[in-house]
Structure 1
Amino acid sequence: MKRAHRWPVTVAAVTFIALLAAAGLRSAPSVMMVPLEVHFGWNRATISATSAVGIFLYGLVGPFAAALMQSFGIRRTMIAGLSLMAASTFVSQWMTQSWHYLVTWGLFSGIGTGAITMVLGAAMVNRWFATRQGLVMGLMSASAATGALIFLPFLAWLTSTGAWKPVVLTVSLVCLALIPLVAFLVPERPSDVGTTRFGEAPDAPPPPPRQVADPALALKVLASASRSPVFWLLFGTFFVCGLTTNGLVGTHLIAYCGDHGIAPVAAAGLLSMMGLFDLFGTTASGWLTDRYDPRRLLFVYYALRGLSLLALPFIDFDGTSLAVFAVFYGLDWIATVPPTVAITNRAFGERDAPIVFGWVMVGHQIGAATAALGAGVIRETWGTYAPAFLIAGTFGVVAGLAALVLPARQRLAEPLPA
């Protein structure tokens, strides 16, 4: 490895690991759903409501975290998020009421994970990489599914006897262990360690100066971006992305499989299989984004995802059918992120793009929260998850068609003054 490339690769690796931990925390409620229902007697809709709050805050905090990274710093923001994640989940082992679960796993862990999200990956890629941005963003995006691959089978095994506290302790200790790693291996800027961005030309202009702390920066960027139709198209399609992934499949697939007599450990294995294939699918999506029109990529990803969800309620839920679904769906799990980030960068500029993408992520998490809560309510009302998957599949096909309306490469908004 070239000496000039050592620090960018190191920072990318540590960011990837931090995103893995956040993904592990976000996947934990799916394996705790049944144990909490049995232990406390809380119904599925009540538990799903906490998941919805956490998912929503995870998205809402994103643009403010991106703005904080420009003034307070990426490293400090990461440490603050990891600390809050570790503390809130650790305290939850003493909860006795459903509102305790809402406060610890819904409110505080939602805020903490909001600082360790895709906007962190976008900010890191823009600050440390001049080339290969799509490929690196693909790896950062795949971290969410890879986190499920690593954590879910183990977390499901911890709940195999009906226990939920071991899950709480595992997640909190992993987050705590990452704090010193970030503190020592994530410099704020390439110039702080005497290097440049990966692939940056020697005569490249200097990076923009660090912005003065402005609590309203995220809102100012939103006001500017919201005047562009492309923002609302990205926001809407990413709403569907969240609706069809972590809000529905990530939160309810294990319980849906349980309705068909499949044990939680086996169902978690399906999510892990999805994570394994998404690691390849999303990384390949980043490579493709560097080479092909991201609009057409989004059309393919959303349409195929929608069709797979429309088919799921009609399969036999045997081993072969579920394995085929897991492979097909896994390849497409978060493949939408690299082309979405690429369009955001081209439309709003590399400085404002992480904040704009943060607001696009709000749409993602609103969609995820809608599915997390709505699917739970549908299950309680209808006694089956099938309508929820059919609705989500239809939205996926519509989002694929909407992606074709996005503009090609032209700049759509002027950045805010530094």
Structure 2
Amino acid sequence: MRPYRKIPRSPWTVAAGAALAIVTAGAFSTLAGLLVGPLHEDLGWSRASVGLVSLVNMVVYGATAPFAAALMDRFGMRRVAVGALCLVGSGAALTTTMTAPWQFVLYWGVLVGLGTGATATTFAATVTERWFVARRGLVTGLLTAASVVGQFVFLPVLSWVIDAYSWRAAAAALACAAACALPVVWAAVREPQKAPGRTEDTAHPASRTKDNTRPTGRTEDAARPTARTEDAARRALRTLVRAARTGPFWLLAGTFAVCGASTNGVMWTHFAPAAHDHGMPVTVAASLLSLIGIFNVAGTVGSGWLTDRADPRRLLATYYALRGLTLLALPLLLTSAVDAPLVAFTVVFGLLDVATVPPTIALCRAHYGADAPVVFGWVSAAHQVGAGAVAFAGGVTRDAFGSYDPVWVGAGALCAGAALLALTVRRPQGPQGPRVTPPARATPRRSRALPASPPPCR
């Protein structure tokens, strides 16, 4: 164990390792959209069958998230993240050998869905909750942006590999990427070292680590919590039962389902084939998606910064309303060439695409405290159900009507409804939701032992 002590166990080191895992897994999320045409031409599969794989992948992705958050509490973040990379790598490698649609459902829908779900935004929420006290919204935005980088920045590369070689080569490249990321994530996302005979986590961010490292924003030591021994699945289900009895959970789940429907469901799955229907080469459409990803990074980080300073409910309402307007305008903008209005659409949609994540996590933290990562996992499950339903409906609509236009209009209408729902979420007690957390309430009881130190949260 002595060599591990040479690796700095700072919060930013853990965040960097988590970002690498999220980037790698994120690259798997959008490849299915690029495979619609090649699988249709090479294997003769219908677009609806490929859309069914996207549906299974997104539902499994969403269902995995809350259980993964509970597993991280039980077994640690490192083991879950490394196991997730093994799953996505295995799924991509097996995809290169498939010859029937049911194999695509199993390899990409189930295995890749499990792996990407375990390294989803719940992973970012867990890292932020454990290792950061100050600037939580900003760090959440940065880790969410890492997912965006994986989803969009590699799209042109994967599209080029498909054109130059084959879709099997693209899947094999992703399997190699997961294998290369494994040792780095294992070294960076350090597991807390436990002293002999002790069950509490000696490197938990509530206290100092063995190398005298505090979490970012912590100014004094706090009581170390006892490690959870409850079964992860049981805890995830019990948390769901408790959260389901509250109104904010259903409102957040409903809005996040629309978020998934209007991003993963239509844009990440059907934008490339829809643009190709208008005569645009798939490589050019993938480049536009990559441009969306670039502005996603700026939009997500900016949204995290705003979440630390503004009402998350109003931010969500603004994001959904503007996203709905852009989707309603898209059928009028798609052409065979890239012009200024289409570029403007990609910029605006990119700024709004994943900007909903930091405010949603902040509201979960404000209403559900220490259970926020697991609750957000269930909210993310709703996100993926909405995404999968619209991904499947988009393929069916294209096969039935020969156009994706009804899908864009329907997604825009759903965003308008989500904007209204976001404003009805009950305002949490306190001046700002994200700061109303259990550590902030527990600090005054500890302050008597440290009379010279001010309370960390005001």
Please confirm whether the aligned pair reaches a TM-score higher than 0.5, indicating the same fold.
Answer: yes
Task: Please report how far the alpha carbon of residue 265 of structure 1 lies from its aligned counterpart in structure 2 after TM superposition.
Answer: 0.6
Asked if 1:370 is matched to 2:389, the reply is: yes
For residues 264-304 of structure 1, the C-alpha deviation after alignment (integer angstroms, 9 at most, x for no partner) is 11000010000001100110000000001001100110000
Q: List runs of 5+ in structure 2 lacking aligned partners.
A: 1-7, 193-202, 204-208, 439-458
> Partner of 2:225 in structure 1?
208
More off after superposition, 11-20 vs 403-412: 403-412
Task: Please report how far the alpha carbon of residue 150 of structure 1 lies from its aligned counterpart in structure 2 after TM superposition.
Answer: 2.4
Task: Please report how far the alpha carbon of residue 161 of structure 1 lies from its aligned counterpart in structure 2 after TM superposition.
Answer: 4.2
Report the Cα distance in structure 2 between the residues aligned to 1:40 and 1:162, rounded to whole angstroms. 16
> CA 1:394/1:107 → structure 2, altered by over 3 Å: closer, same or farther?
same
Asked if 1:218 is matched to 2:236, the reply is: yes
> Partner of 1:341 in structure 2?
361
> Partner of 2:79 in structure 1?
76
Among 47, 60, 63, which residue is 2:63 paired with?
Answer: 60
Among 280, 283, 286, which residue is 1:265 paired with?
Answer: 283
Report the Cα distance in structure 2 between the residues aligned to 1:42 and 1:228, rounded to whole angstroms. 44
More off after superposition, 27-36 vs 325-334: 27-36
Report the Cα distance in structure 1 between the residues aligned to 2:377 and 2:315, rounded to whole angstroms. 21
Among 213, 216, 236, which residue is 1:195 paired with?
Answer: 213
For the 8 Å contact 1:156–1:264, the answer to whether it is kept is: yes
Report the Cα distance in structure 1 between the residues aligned to 2:325 and 2:283, rounded to whole angstroms. 26
Asked if 1:399 is matched to 2:402, the reply is: no
What is the one-letter code of the residue matched to 1:183? Answer: W
- Computed over aligned residues only, the root mean square deviation of the Cα atoms, in angstroms, reads 1.9
> Partner of 2:111 in structure 1?
108
What is the one-letter code of the residue matched to 1:140? Answer: L
> Partner of 1:281 in structure 2?
299
Aligned residue pair count: 411
For residues 214-242 of structure 1, the C-alpha deviation after alignment (integer angstroms, 9 at most, x for no partner) is 13110000011111100000000000000
Among 367, 378, 382, which residue is 1:359 paired with?
Answer: 378
Task: Please report how far the alpha carbon of residue 145 of structure 1 lies from its aligned counterpart in structure 2 after TM superposition.
Answer: 1.9
Report the Cα distance in structure 2 between the residues aligned to 1:31 and 1:313, rounded to whole angstroms. 20
SS in 1 for 2:133: coil
Asked if 1:235 is matched to 2:253, the reply is: yes
Report the Cα distance in structure 2 between the residues aligned to 1:207 and 1:341, rounded to whole angstroms. 24
For residues 35-54 of structure 1, the C-alpha deviation after alignment (integer angstroms, 9 at most, x for no partner) is 11111000100011001100
Report the Cα distance in structure 1 between the residues aligned to 2:90 and 2:351, rounded to whole angstroms. 34
What is the one-letter code of the residue matched to 2:391? Answer: A
Report the Cα distance in structure 1 between the residues aligned to 2:25 and 2:99, rounded to whole angstroms. 25
Task: Please report how far the alpha carbon of residue 315 of structure 1 lies from its aligned counterpart in structure 2 after TM superposition.
Answer: 2.2
> Partner of 2:346 in structure 1?
326
> Partner of 1:46 in structure 2?
49
Q: What's the TM-score once normalised by structure 2's chain length? A: 0.87
Task: Please report how far the alpha carbon of residue 135 of structure 1 lies from its aligned counterpart in structure 2 after TM superposition.
Answer: 0.1
Report the Cα distance in structure 1 between the residues aligned to 2:225 and 2:136, rounded to whole angstroms. 18
> Partner of 2:35 in structure 1?
32
Q: List runs of 5+ in structure 1 lacking aligned partners.
A: none
What is the one-letter code of the residue matched to 1:31? Answer: L
Among the aligned pairs, what percent are the same residue? 40
Task: Please report how far the alpha carbon of residue 142 of structure 1 lies from its aligned counterpart in structure 2 after TM superposition.
Answer: 1.4
Report the Cα distance in structure 2 between the residues aligned to 1:220 and 1:366, rounded to whole angstroms. 21
What is the one-letter code of the residue matched to 2:163? Answer: S
What is the one-letter code of the residue matched to 2:292? Answer: M
Report the Cα distance in structure 1 between the residues aligned to 2:211 and 2:408, rounded to whole angstroms. 49
Report the Cα distance in structure 1 between the residues aligned to 2:238 and 2:210, rounded to whole angstroms. 29
Asked if 1:127 is matched to 2:145, the reply is: no
More off after superposition, 233-242 vs 109-118: 109-118
For the 8 Å contact 2:149–2:294, the answer to whether it is kept is: yes
For residues 103-157 of structure 1, the C-alpha deviation after alignment (integer angstroms, 9 at most, x for no partner) is 1001111111111110000000001101100000011111222113321000000
SS in 2 for 1:384: coil
Q: What's the TM-score once normalised by structure 1's chain length? A: 0.95
Task: Please report how far the alpha carbon of residue 199 of structure 1 lies from its aligned counterpart in structure 2 after TM superposition.
Answer: 1.1
4+ runs deviating over 3 angstroms:
411-415
More off after superposition, 255-264 vs 182-191: 182-191
Structure whose alpha-carbon radius of gyration is higher:
2
More off after superposition, 152-161 vs 207-216: 207-216
> Partner of 1:97 in structure 2?
100
More off after superposition, 30-39 vs 286-295: 30-39
For the 8 Å contact 2:278–2:334, the answer to whether it is kept is: no
Task: Please report how far the alpha carbon of residue 213 of structure 1 lies from its aligned counterpart in structure 2 after TM superposition.
Answer: 3.9
Report the Cα distance in structure 2 between the residues aligned to 1:358 and 1:162, rounded to whole angstroms. 37
Task: Please report how far the alpha carbon of residue 346 of structure 1 lies from its aligned counterpart in structure 2 after TM superposition.
Answer: 0.5
